[in-house]
Amino acid sequence: MFVRVIANYLVILWICCGAAYADMAVTIGYLEQVEPQPPVLSNLDPVPENEGLAGAEVGLKDNATTGRFLKQTYALETRIVAEGGDIESAARELLAVTPFLIVKAPKNQLLRVADLPEAAGAILFNTSAGDTDLRDASCRVNVLHTLPSRAMLTDALAQFGVRKKWTDWVVVAGPYTADLAFADAIENSARKFGIRIRERRVWDVSADLRRSAFQELPLFTQNFPEHDLLVVADETDDFGRYVPYNSWVPRPVGGTEGIVPVAWDRTVEQWGAAQLQSRFEKTAGRSMRPVDYAAWAAMRAIGEAVTRTSQADAGAVRDYLLSGKFELAGFKGRPLTFRTWNGQLRQPIPLVNPRALVAQAPLEGFLHQRTELDTLGIDEAESACTAFRE
Amino acid sequence: MRILWQITGLAIGMGLSIATADEIWVSNEKDDTISVIDIDTLEVTRTIDVGERPRGIAFAIDHSVLYLCASDSDTVQVIDPKTGKILHELPSGEDPEQFVLHPDGKHLYIANEDDAITTVVDTDTRKVIAQIDVGIEPEGMAVSPDGDIAITTSETTNMAHWIDTGTQELFANTIVDQRPRHAEFTHDGSELWVSSEIGGTITVFNRENQQEKAKIEFEIQGIHPDRVQPVGFEMTRDGQHVFVALGPANHIAVVDPETYEVTDYILVGRRVWHMAFNGDESLLFTTNGVSGDVTVIDVKNLEPIKSIKVGRFPWGAAYRPTN
């Protein structure tokens, strides 16, 4: 029962066409490092070339529509660096025109950009690197993360396991760095939520599963200890799709296959999400993916800060984003905010199967003194990120 | 419980003499139907097939026809309330979600959710007379009692857009909190109220100068503030109460429009969305999307007295007098 009556002289958010608001032009940089993709078994579902950029473009349109009523204009300046190209000089070019960079790059390249002298005081939005470490010991004061960390994703799956009482897991991890990182995150989440990892195996079968999944997978999964959930750690998207229905014992599959924790998926259609999905599909001609969502959220976060503060300098925008005032309507049923200890965007994590939303974490019953959203990922007390404390 | 008996008694007493009791019409978003509730018996008496994804629902001023947003059919359907037949369709622009009927009884102001447009349709000539660019995902629609101002709120742009109904042009845009969903002028026309679902607030504007006058926040013990999400609301004509649907918080808040204080919270069904009064405003009917029912609230005692099963995902409600 809290009422705040605002005296007239305090009103600052009044605007009328042609009235006092100064024209403002905001440029946002989009920086991408194209990564080499390891060969995968299936030719289905290639990663779209404009993944990320398409999300930023939809966010830009959203900002521009709002800006039209406020005499604010938004522009996108894009640099896409080819495989092995020089991301630092591309970053310098962008930083010469804007302090706001939406970045799609692997961890090491992201850190190289963040550590450029020109990037001091800028705001970089990490939209593609799930490395939990980037929100922890390797955090940078000028990097915010709109993509959830791997820890947030695997915590969501662990909450699901606890709620279902599926508490004995076995893990099959692919051989690539990202696969192993996902499997490690699974182990950490299991420890956090009291799930037993009964065994972890590395996928080392070289057979062409397009022909032989029905023969190979039962053999590979034979002799696993008793388990409730077969967890696949295959961020590379190589063998995972062949696992469901081919395991030795009939068990549900989760992780990067089966029931999958994600930042975003086409199956998210509640909370007004259908509108964002259809706006995106109209623009990009395909469904919205997690990296698209993270880029959209970054763009909208900048737009919100500029709209609400009527300022477009990096200091004011950063202060606003990390203040208690910022909230983003991110179509996940709750306002999204940034964690002040590491710059991670707090967000619900949908758990999806290929055709529907199964559940959304935080699941009921996982409580937290601040917000249940902080049951996902690194909490303040355990954070090794010191850059945000200064 | 006593109230329920009284109502039932009343219904039985009047039962056979009145063939046509007043009704509440409920649009069922995921059933493509309307459920018609008999206000005397508090039971569903008719289910009417309509266009795809029915949402916004309102009767003509003389209640001779019903207007219904069939969002996925991209049309506003005009329905004969006696027979339930669809008489004709109005051009509405794409994906109409909500609308408001101008006091002249002639012009419908329609929010086109997917197109960032407000469409103005003449219900007599069945022609679009204006389309006004507004923010992204327009939804809430209101018109001032004197008809001079129409309002569209846009969910992603987070604004209330003020339309001069004389020129059909915007004359002001005011920022509100995240995801504005619904707007209403007070009955005396002096204030505009706008609910923000994700912001969790209602912003009250002074109509005269479009300045923010008050902000109302809600707090329910045991429910995280994030889940207290105001959506639809209705004001009583006597100026005593404003009833605010709080979405997934499953409660209706009761607000005193003089002091802007929340005086009560009433537990209703799951994901409460919109509502309608009966004729003398003694009963309030709320649509509960997730539980698929309508809660009937006794306005005098501020108590829920019954829940009525309707179709899937009830969205809006409208009152129809029959006498």
- Above 50 in pLDDT, residue A2? no
The Cβ-side half-sphere exposure at A218, using a 13 Å CA radius, reads: 8
Nearest-by-Cβ selection for B224 from A13, A272, A371? A371
CATH among 2.30.30.40, 2.130.10.10, 2.20.130.10, 1.10.1040.10 for B1-7+24-49+218-323: 2.130.10.10
Partners of B217 on chain A (C-beta within 8 Å) are 2-4
**Shared-domain flag, residues A28 and A124:** yes
Hey, are the CB atoms on B171 and A372 less than 8 Å from each other?
A: no
Tell me which chain A residues have a C-beta less than 8 angstroms from the C-beta of B220.
none
Which among A6, A15, A62 has the least Cβ separation from residue B173? A15
- Which domain, by its residues, includes A209? 151-261
How many domains is chain A built from? Answer: 2
Rounded CA separation B6/B19 (Å)? 20
pLDDT band with cut points at 50, 70 and 90 for residue B3: low
Strand partners, B141: B152
Q: Mind listing the pLDDT tens digit for each residue in A112-136?
A: 999 999 999 999 999 999 999 999 9
Whether A367 is covered by a domain: the verdict is: no
Q: Report how far residue B311's alpha carbon sits from residue B34's, in angstroms, rounded to the nearest whole number.
A: 8
Distance from CA of A245 to the nearest CA of B (A): 33
Size of interface A-B (CB pairs under 8 A): 109
pTM, 2 dp: 0.84
Indicate if A167 and A104 belong to the same structural domain.
Answer: no
| Contact across the interface for A66 and B248, Cβ inside 8 Å | no
Name residue A4's beta-bridge partners.
B215
Nearest CA in chain B to A368: B224
Residue A227: what pLDDT?
98
Residue A80 shares a structural domain with residue A116: yes
Token output for A339? 């964690």
When pLDDT is cut at 50, 70 and 90, the band that residue B282 belongs to is very high
Asked if A15 and B157 come within 8 Å (Cβ–Cβ), the reply is: no
Instruction: Give Dmax over CA atoms of chain B in angstroms.
Output: 54
Q: Are residues A29 and A161 in the same domain?
A: no
Share of chain B above pLDDT 70, in %: 94
What homologous superfamily is domain B66-217 in, according to CATH? YVTN repeat-like/Quinoprotein amine dehydrogenase (2.130.10.10)
Q: From A59, which residue of chain B is nearest by alpha-carbon distance?
A: B156
Q: A71 and chain B: CB distance < 8 Å anywhere?
A: no
Nearest CA in chain B to A16: B172
| Cα A341 to Cα A377: distance, rounded to the nearest angstrom | 12
Yes or no, beta carbons of A329 and B156 under 8 Å apart: yes
pLDDT in tens, A351-379: 999 999 999 999 999 999 999 999 999 99
Would you state the pLDDT for residue B9? 46
Cα dihedral B268/B270/B272/B273 (nearest 10): -160
Please state, in angstroms and rounded to a whole number, the distance separating the CA atoms of residues B179 and B174: 13
Provide residues of B within 8 Å CB-CB of chain A.
113-114, 116, 133, 135-137, 155-159, 161, 170-175, 178-179, 197-200, 209-217, 219, 224, 226-227, 248, 259-263
CA distance A217 to chain B (A): 41
- Nearest chain A alpha carbon to B154: A66
B283-310 pLDDT, tens digit each: 999 999 999 999 999 999 999 999 999 9
Chain B residue closest in CA terms to A66: B157
Same domain, A254 and A307: no
Q: Is residue A256 part of a domain?
A: yes
User: 3-state DSSP helix/strand/coil percent for chain A, to nearest 5?
Assistant: 35, 20, 45
Task: Provide the pLDDT for residue B236.
Answer: 97
Phi–psi pair at A306, nearest 5 degrees: -65, -45
Chain B interface disruption, residue of A69, A304, A332, A373, most B CBs within 10 A? A69
* Structural domain includes residue A368: no
Mind spelling out the 3-state secondary structure of B257-288?
A: CCCCEEEEEEECCCCEEEEEECCCCCEEEEEE
The answer to whether the CB of A181 falls within 8 A of the CB of A150 is yes
The verdict on a CB contact (< 8 Å) between A15 and B175 is: yes
Per-residue model confidence as pLDDT tens digits over B187-237? 999 999 999 999 999 999 999 999 999 999 999 998 888 889 999 999 999
- Please indicate if any CB of chain B lies within 8 Å of the CB of A48: no
User: Mean pLDDT for chain B?
Assistant: 92
* Contact (CB, 8 A) for B210 and B162: yes
* pLDDT at position A147: 98
Q: What is the DSSP string of B64-110?
A: SSEEEEEGGGTEEEEE-TTT--EEEEEE--SSEEEEEE-TTSSEEEE
A231 and A161 share one domain: yes
Please state whether the peptide bond connecting residue B96 to the residue before it is cis, i.e. omega within 30 degrees of 0: no
Both tokens of residue A195? 């799930």
Q: Does the pLDDT value for residue A11 go beyond 50? A: no
Are A160 and A301 in the same domain? no
Partner B contacted by A15 (CB < 8 A):
yes
A323 at B interface, C-beta within 8 A: no
* Contact flag A65-B157 (C-beta cutoff 8 Å): yes
Distance of alpha carbon B98 from alpha carbon B76, whole angstroms: 10
Residue A18 has pLDDT above 90, yes or no: no
pLDDT digits (tens, 9 = 90+) for A273-324: 988 999 999 999 999 999 999 999 999 999 999 999 999 999 999 999 999 8
Q: Answer yes or no: is A303 within a domain.
A: yes
Who among B135, B155, B214 is closest to A69 (CB)? B135
Instruction: With CA atoms as reference, report the closest residue to A14 among B136, B164, B192.
Output: B192
Distance CA A345, CA A149 (A): 10
- Is pLDDT of A6 > 50? no
Q: Looking at the structure, do residues A319 and A175 belong to the same domain, yes or no?
A: no
Residues A126 and A272 in one domain: yes
Domains in chain B: boundaries:
1-7+24-49+218-323, 66-217
Name which of A235, A275, A274 is nearest A256 in CA terms.
Answer: A235
Is A374 domain-assigned?
Answer: no
Closest CA of chain A from B1, distance in Å: 28
Confidence of residue A208 (pLDDT cuts 50, 70, 90): confident
A225 occurs within a structural domain: yes
Chain B, nearest residue to A68 by Cα: B135
Find the CATH number of the domain harbouring A188. 3.40.50.2300
User: Looking at the structure, do residues A214 and A292 belong to the same domain, yes or no?
Assistant: no
Chain centroid to Cα B244, Å, comes to 11
Is A4 domain-assigned? no
Q: What is the pLDDT of residues A134-154, one digit of tens each?
A: 999 999 999 999 999 999 999
Q: Which residue of A has its CA nearest to B153?
A: A66
- CATH topology match: B1-7+24-49+218-323 vs B66-217: yes
ipTM above 0.95, yes or no: no
Shortest alpha-carbon distance between residue B288 and chain A (Å) = 15
Measured between CA atoms, how close is A334 to chain B, in angstroms?
A: 6
Give contacts of B113 with chain A, Cβ < 8 Å.
275
Choose among A2, A17, A329: nearest Cβ to B172.
A17
Angle A213-A216-A217 from CA coordinates, rounded to 5°: 75
Claim to verify: residue A134 and residue A274 sit in the same structural domain: yes
Cα angle vertex B246, ends A268, B163, to 5°? 85
What percent of chain B shows pLDDT beyond 90?
87
CB B165 within 8 A of CB B151: no
Calculate the CA A266 to chain-centre distance.
15
pLDDT at residue number A119: 97
The alpha-carbon gap from B50 to the nearest alpha carbon of chain A, in Å, equals 22
- Residues A92 and A122: their CA atoms lie apart, in Å, by 11
For residue B42, give the nearest of B26, B53, B27, B29 by alpha carbon.
B26
Question: Are B156 and A16 within 8 A, CB to CB?
Answer: no
**Residue B2 pLDDT greater than 80, yes or no:** no
* Residue A298 and residue A249 share a domain: no
Q: Which positions in chain B touch A333 (Cβ < 8 Å)? A: 248
Does B172 sit within 8 Å of A16, measured CB to CB? yes
At B59 the pLDDT is 97
Label residue A21 by pLDDT band (50, 70, 90). low
Q: Does residue B10 surpass a pLDDT of 60?
A: no
Nearest by CB to A1, from B214, B215, B219: name it: B219
Residue B82 amino acid letter? K
Is residue B218 a contact partner of residue B227, using CB atoms and an 8 Å limit? no
Residue A12 inside a domain? The answer is no
Radius of gyration, alpha carbons of chain A: 22
Q: Is the pLDDT of residue B12 over 60?
A: no
